[in-house]
Chains A and B, each alone.
Chain A
């Protein structure tokens, strides 16, 4: 797959790779039902994902809630154990015993900065925590100050003895980022990094993330439901639906010339002046315990619903034949029967 617009050699080893990943969550079974032999419902949160993250790339993982993007991010971080599949870091499969050293290289930024900070720790302690856990050599105070500074909190000393509740939302998120930066990671996994922040403050945090990529070559995996955010910062965009990636490619292509009807539907509902007259998918975000047969999107797919699929004689395939990503244009992949037969027409 080709990488971002930045000079990233395509044969350079990707910094992270996800291979054939499956993550399941078992539902709960009542005592009686369990005794009667009823099995727990299985939610297939991640249902076969292959993904590559290149050095210095910003990859956006987009989709509605329940599509598995957060689970995928957490599995990449080692916070969740997969059922099957591997996470490869610089080509090496991640094993339990590697987790500790892995954590120095791959860090996370969380959705709610207020909840992600221990209210009883000072900012200094929060940022120093990672350094202490990994016994990082060097002057701790300098390292903390440097991390806070790089995250835009200047002068850093001013923040040392403050507590999280004394900072604003934007500042708290910067503290979370500083905590991650202190370890000099190669990869940052950002789970909805700005969605709980005020709109006018979001840009600053996004700017910070881009700076980190530009100056330090940190790769960033951004999980978001906001396609506008993806348009702003991402090099590539991967769209997830019911545990699978249904489309992936350069941001410009995926967001302006989408191949998969689901991506198109998501783009259609991004609020803009144009009225809400555009087609909106019916129904709720899908249930990962009941994945439809065939193409998992087919029950909500406008191409099926409008009869177009029947017209071009692929409706049975949509209903019955499951499929994976196919490279339909250079560097642009989609998992759609209809898009596949459309060839490389835009």
Chain B
């Protein structure tokens, strides 16, 4: 049973230069207690999806499709219901969370704020719960009286996680939660997230550009490129046996230390991720693809079945070309 079910999501930002299609038809499923990793580089639309799920995108942004949270479409919700769902149904651990803390308010009060807003308690009871939350994320309770500048990067991130858990959400969206942290602290925070997710049975959507991190924490993995998902499946399979050339290039950027094949053999892609307003025809990846052929610039692939529980949007997947051209099953 999917806790979160995104169907054909399209998001177009309004700018002075016209509409910018950040997300172009994305389907996602996250089951209860499962971690779905969403990977991709700058401009691929992954952070937009995170924002879209709770309708936190700028006013005027066009969103189409369905976002079913526990079978209710978030996009159709009325403001009152939406506010209730925000944080209590699903919460977000933001990118650059370290700067999301109010510098003139004690951190305990900030966490309590979420609880109080959702009328789950008054200020006093809220602070008790805050104490419990801080312990859960590995911080001493007395820290709730600290101000943001008294905490280190890792500690601030833990506070953000505590905040995200404050209203007992069933889904946590983590948008680059460890990006600005040092490797050791990153490992600590990742372990914390994984433990919390397991202990609380949370569903998690983990968004990041760091593919290697996702392999550690996710059950399933989806790779985004130019506003669409180009591959998905079980995390280990997608990382170690990629079916899409882009996934292959991306995972090559995270070498396994000790593996001689990576030694003195850097591999990367030429070119850049495409400008969302100028997406190449056919397969959006074909200009940078090392194995592209003629049809790639004409036929736009969709997610073809590529094994048990796996899909990849590439014409080189077995049987894909025939399907794309209309013959075959």
Contact = CB atoms under 8 A, between A and B. Distances in A.
Check whether chain A touches chain B (CB < 8 angstroms): yes
A170 to B, nearest CB: 6
A275 B257 contact: no
B99 interface: no
Nearest to A225: B183
B100 interface: no
A199, A232, A280 interface centre (most CB from chain B within 10 Å): A199
A223 interface: no
B269 A276 contact: no
B250 A199 contact: yes
A64 B184 contact: yes
B216 A203 contact: no
B120 interface: no
A205 B268 contact: yes
A120 B187 CA distance: 40
Interface string B125-168: 00000000000000000000000000011100000000000000
B266 A202 contact: yes
Prevailing SS type, chain A contact patch: helix
B92 to A, nearest CB: 22
A227 interface: yes
A98 interface: no
B236 interface: yes
Interface in B254-275: 254-258, 262-270, 272-273
B268 A265 contact: no
B41 A285 contact: no
Interface residues of A, number: 43
Interface string B204-247: 00000111110111000000000000000000100110000010
A206 B265 CA distance: 9
A255 B41 CA distance: 28
B237 to A, nearest CB: 11
B256 A272 contact: yes
B185 A200 contact: no
Contacts of B250: 199-200
Contact of B211 (A168, A171, A199, A282): A199
Interface string B180-214: 00111111101100100000000000000111110
Interface residues of B, number: 47
Contact of B184 (A206, A273, A280): A280
B42 A198 contact: yes
Contacts of A171: 272
Nearest to B152: A284
A283 to B, nearest CB: 8
A231 B255 contact: yes
A281 interface: yes
A271 interface: yes
A307 interface: no
Interface in A267-302: 267, 269-276, 280-282, 284-285
A284 B154 contact: yes
A200 B212 contact: no
B64 to A, nearest CB: 28
Contact of B209 (A199, A251, A285): A199
A206 B268 contact: yes
Nearest to B155: A284
A272 B216 contact: yes
A281 B267 CA distance: 31
A192 B255 CA distance: 17
A266 interface: yes
B252 interface: yes
Contacts of A206: 266, 268
B262 A64 contact: no
Contacts of B273: 198, 200
A273 B152 contact: no
Given A280-B184, A284-B185, A273 B239 contact: yes
Contacts of B246: 200
B182 A64 contact: yes
Nearest to A231: B257
Given A169-B272, A210-B266, A276 B216 contact: yes
A2 interface: no
Nearest to A167: B272
Given A198-B42, A200-B249, A232 B268 contact: no
B253 interface: yes
Given A200-B268, A205-B268, A276-B217, A269 B187 contact: yes
B257 to A, nearest CB: 5
A269 B191 CA distance: 10
Contacts of B187: 269, 271, 276, 280
Given A231-B257, A271-B210, A65 B41 contact: no
B257 A227 contact: yes
A267 B190 contact: no
A276 B194 contact: yes
Interface string A190-204: 000000001111111
29 contacts: A64-B182, A169-B272, A198-B41, A199-B41, A199-B209, A200-B246, A201-B269, A203-B267, A204-B268, A228-B255, A232-B262, A233-B266, A252-B263, A266-B183, A269-B183, A271-B212, A272-B212, A272-B216, A273-B236, A273-B239, A276-B187, A276-B191, A276-B194, A276-B216, A280-B191, A284-B152, A284-B184, A284-B185, A285-B184
Interface of B: 41-42, 152-154, 182-188, 190-191, 194, 209-213, 215-217, 236, 239-240, 246, 249-250, 252-258, 262-270, 272-273
